[in-house]
Chains A and B, each alone.
Chain A
Amino acid sequence: MNLKVSHKEVPEFDVTAQDAIMDAFIEAIIIMDTDGSIERFNKAAENMFGYKANEAIGLDISILMPDPDGANHGRYVDRYLATREARIIGIGREMTARRKDGTMFPMHLAVGEVGWHGKVSFIGLIRDLTDDKLAEERRLRQATDMIAASRLATMGEMAAAIAHEINQPLAAIATYASAAERLLNAGPENTGDVKGALASVKAQAHRAGEIIRKLRSFVKPEVASLEVKDLQSVIEDIRSLAELDARANNIQLSIDVANNLPEIIADGVQIQQVILNLLRNGIDAMLDCDPDDRRLELHGYIASPDEVRVDVIDRGHGIPQSVRDSVFNPFFTTKTSGMGMGLAISQTIVKSHGGKLGFEDNPGGGTTFYVTLPTKVA
């Protein structure tokens, strides 16, 4: 077999053709020399960074990166040239980029080494990750919402289970006691049965005590993971969940939290639990109101130099005088399906943060529940 290998000449692209190809890329392409001086800058790079190619060419590559990457860039290149040890070349990584106007954006940067007119150059391909990052944040936020929602659901379910559990020994105790009473009244011949009943009463009382111990450890929030938090972002993270709940119940919800609130030290998830619970109560309070009056408001603001405050304002029927002292008691509820644990647990949480949970009547009807939280001592 006669194998004839023909070497076909690859036509050289002239500079104009190269420019055309580079400009067709969606990704920014930047070529620089070993000193970090920009040699080529395509259309996409112009759009992404805000520099015109003729402005950028000749400038140092570090202008496109915030410090410390920008300041260190020269050293990175020198190290590579000296050691041939690739930190980024051929690997690519996510970094922050700086536009001409100083704003930042997340980018993915891939770097290759090219022979360019007989000398070594580096070619960088850059993808703008802004949209990807936004999508990721959204996913994260939704996940947080789900966690908060499921914690609330678990709280309700656990409370229901505990209520059922505690009812069992109580029912047995009451029944044993009345049986013993009747047996005693019937005559002395029943002493054996009465003794048995009393022993059972004792055992069942201990059983009830055991359940209450479990309940205590449940109501007492687990060791809070306290962090420096900004109330606005804590509330922002549950906004979509709260809005969903409000929409589902035909309620107009407005959430308005002041900017630049002083930071608090808090377990963000617990505070979210409290606020979601207050919003939930507000929604429940207005379910039988005229649809036009179903307005729920949340305001977050500075109450005093060392306190931030959240008000949850409903336009419901208010809290009747007769139950005002009971609303924070465990198992107190005015709802047909509630367990009466929401406000009790919320109060425990707020107190453990050194804050206060309370309520007051609105002048125009309805109730405002408020949470105050101490601000971080500077």
Chain B
Amino acid sequence: MTDRQESVLIVDDDAAVRDSLSLLLKSVGIQSRAFSSGGEFLDAYQAEWAGCILLDIRMPGMSGMEVQRRLVERDCTLPIIFITGHGDIPMAVEAMHLGAHDFVQKPFHDQELLDRIQAALSANREQQDDIDLKRNVKERYETLTPREAEVMSAVVKGHANKVIAMDLDLSQRTVEIHRARVMEKMQVRSLAELVKLSVLLDS
């Protein structure tokens, strides 16, 4: 599993709000980076960033919702927590429909805000783990020979060795050997685990 530095990316046009959020996060040991506008953030954004985004919904120039739209275009999967003010609830609800992770209202309750940030961070970690696992499984799968891949696809369909042998015009013994190699290369001990990985590969 890759270990990437995670940080909370704060995007707010108000310097005091940015600064106080950074300090609050620092006080609980969470790293953060602050940006004063959507444009500045989008210019700096790197696809390998990990963590979550705290995004002010109401900013002069590019609005928070517009930033969200552009991030989606760039396949960004970082969870977004919208910062909203009085009367922004309808907008926040729309943002949630567009895939935002959460929203918090100003002024913030510190514990609630931190809990939500933690939840977003762990959502991102899980998501990241999924991506990493998938990449890993794919790498394992790519070490299979074409014949082993054929055997694997038959095995996960639940076909018995005898049937596979007949379908592939092999001896039953040869199928058993291929099957053992598949289990070894895919690093699994049971058929159930192999099926799980195969589902992951297809997703």
| Cross-chain pairs A/B with CB under 8 angstroms, 5 sampled | A168-B106, A175-B113, A180-B27, A190-B27, A193-B23
Inter-chain contact A186/B27, CB cutoff 8 Å: yes
Q: Shortest beta-carbon distance, A310 to chain B, in Å?
A: 30
Inter-chain contact A174/B16, CB cutoff 8 Å: no
A contact patch SS:
helix
Inter-chain contact B108/A174, CB cutoff 8 Å: yes
Complex Cα distance, B58 from A163, in Å, reads 13
Inter-chain contact A167/B107, CB cutoff 8 Å: yes
- Total contacting residues, chain B, CB less than 8 A: 21
Inter-chain contact B86/A171, CB cutoff 8 Å: no
Q: Which residues of A in the span 161-194 have a Cβ within 8 Å of any Cβ on B?
A: 163-164, 167-176, 178-180, 182-183, 186, 190, 193
- Total contacting residues, chain A, CB less than 8 A: 29
Inter-chain contact A170/B107, CB cutoff 8 Å: yes
Q: Shortest beta-carbon distance, B15 to chain A, in Å?
A: 9
Is A200 interfacial (CB 8 A cutoff)?
yes
Inter-chain contact B14/A172, CB cutoff 8 Å: yes
Q: Shortest beta-carbon distance, B121 to chain A, in Å?
A: 17
Complex Cα distance, B24 from A180, in Å, reads 8
The residues of A that contact B110 with a CB separation of less than 8 Å are: 174-175, 178-179, 182
Closest residue of B by beta carbon distance from A160:
B87
The residues of A that contact B17 with a CB separation of less than 8 Å are: 168, 171-172, 175
Q: Write out, one digit per residue, whether chain B residues 98-127 have a CB within 8 A of any chain A CB (1) or not (0).
A: 000000001111100100000000000000
Q: Which residues of B in the span 150-184 have a Cβ within 8 Å of any Cβ on A?
A: none
The residues of B that contact A173 with a CB separation of less than 8 Å are: 20, 107
Is B26 interfacial (CB 8 A cutoff)?
yes
Is A372 interfacial (CB 8 A cutoff)?
no
Q: Shortest beta-carbon distance, B66 to chain A, in Å?
A: 18
Complex Cα distance, B19 from A183, in Å, reads 15
Inter-chain contact B19/A174, CB cutoff 8 Å: no
Complex Cα distance, B24 from A193, in Å, reads 10
Q: Shortest beta-carbon distance, A290 to chain B, in Å?
A: 27
Closest residue of A by beta carbon distance from B89:
A336
Is A347 interfacial (CB 8 A cutoff)?
no
Complex Cα distance, B16 from A169, in Å, reads 7
Closest residue of B by beta carbon distance from A340:
B86
Inter-chain contact B87/A171, CB cutoff 8 Å: no
Q: Shortest beta-carbon distance, B112 to chain A, in Å?
A: 11
Q: Write out, one digit per residue, whether chain B residues 10-43 have a CB within 8 A of any chain A CB (1) or not (0).
A: 0000101101110110111000000000000000
The residues of A that contact B23 with a CB separation of less than 8 Å are: 175-176, 179-180, 183, 193, 196-197
Known interface pairs A179-B26, A197-B23; A163-B16 also in contact (CB < 8 Å): no
Complex Cα distance, B58 from A160, in Å, reads 12
Contact partner of A164 (CB less than 8 A), chosen from B20, B28, B86, B108, is B86
Contact partner of B106 (CB less than 8 A), chosen from A171, A183, A339, is A171
Given contacts A167-B86, A171-B107, A179-B24, 15 further A-B contacts (CB under 8 A): A163-B85, A167-B107, A168-B17, A170-B107, A173-B107, A175-B113, A176-B23, A176-B24, A180-B27, A182-B27, A182-B28, A183-B26, A193-B27, A200-B19, A207-B16
The residues of B that contact A174 with a CB separation of less than 8 Å are: 107-110
The residues of B that contact A163 with a CB separation of less than 8 Å are: 85-87
Inter-chain contact B24/A168, CB cutoff 8 Å: no
Q: Write out, one digit per residue, whether chain A residues 340-366 have a CB within 8 A of any chain B CB (1) or not (0).
A: 000000000000000000000000000
Is A204 interfacial (CB 8 A cutoff)?
yes
The residues of A that contact B85 with a CB separation of less than 8 Å are: 163-164, 167
Closest A-B pairs by Cβ, 8 of them: A178-B110, A175-B20, A172-B16, A182-B27, A171-B106, A179-B24, A171-B107, A179-B23
The residues of B that contact A197 with a CB separation of less than 8 Å are: 20, 23
The residues of A that contact B109 with a CB separation of less than 8 Å are: 174
The residues of A that contact B86 with a CB separation of less than 8 Å are: 160, 163-164, 167
Contact partner of A182 (CB less than 8 A), chosen from B24, B106, B108, B113, is B24
Contact partner of A175 (CB less than 8 A), chosen from B24, B28, B58, B87, is B24
The residues of B that contact A200 with a CB separation of less than 8 Å are: 16, 19-20
Closest residue of B by beta carbon distance from A178:
B110
Closest residue of B by beta carbon distance from A174:
B107
Q: Shortest beta-carbon distance, A86 to chain B, in Å?
A: 62
Q: Shortest beta-carbon distance, A326 to chain B, in Å?
A: 17
Complex Cα distance, B88 from A337, in Å, reads 10
Q: Write out, one digit per residue, whether chain A residues 204-229 have a CB within 8 A of any chain B CB (1) or not (0).
A: 10010000000000000000000000
Closest residue of A by beta carbon distance from B104:
A171
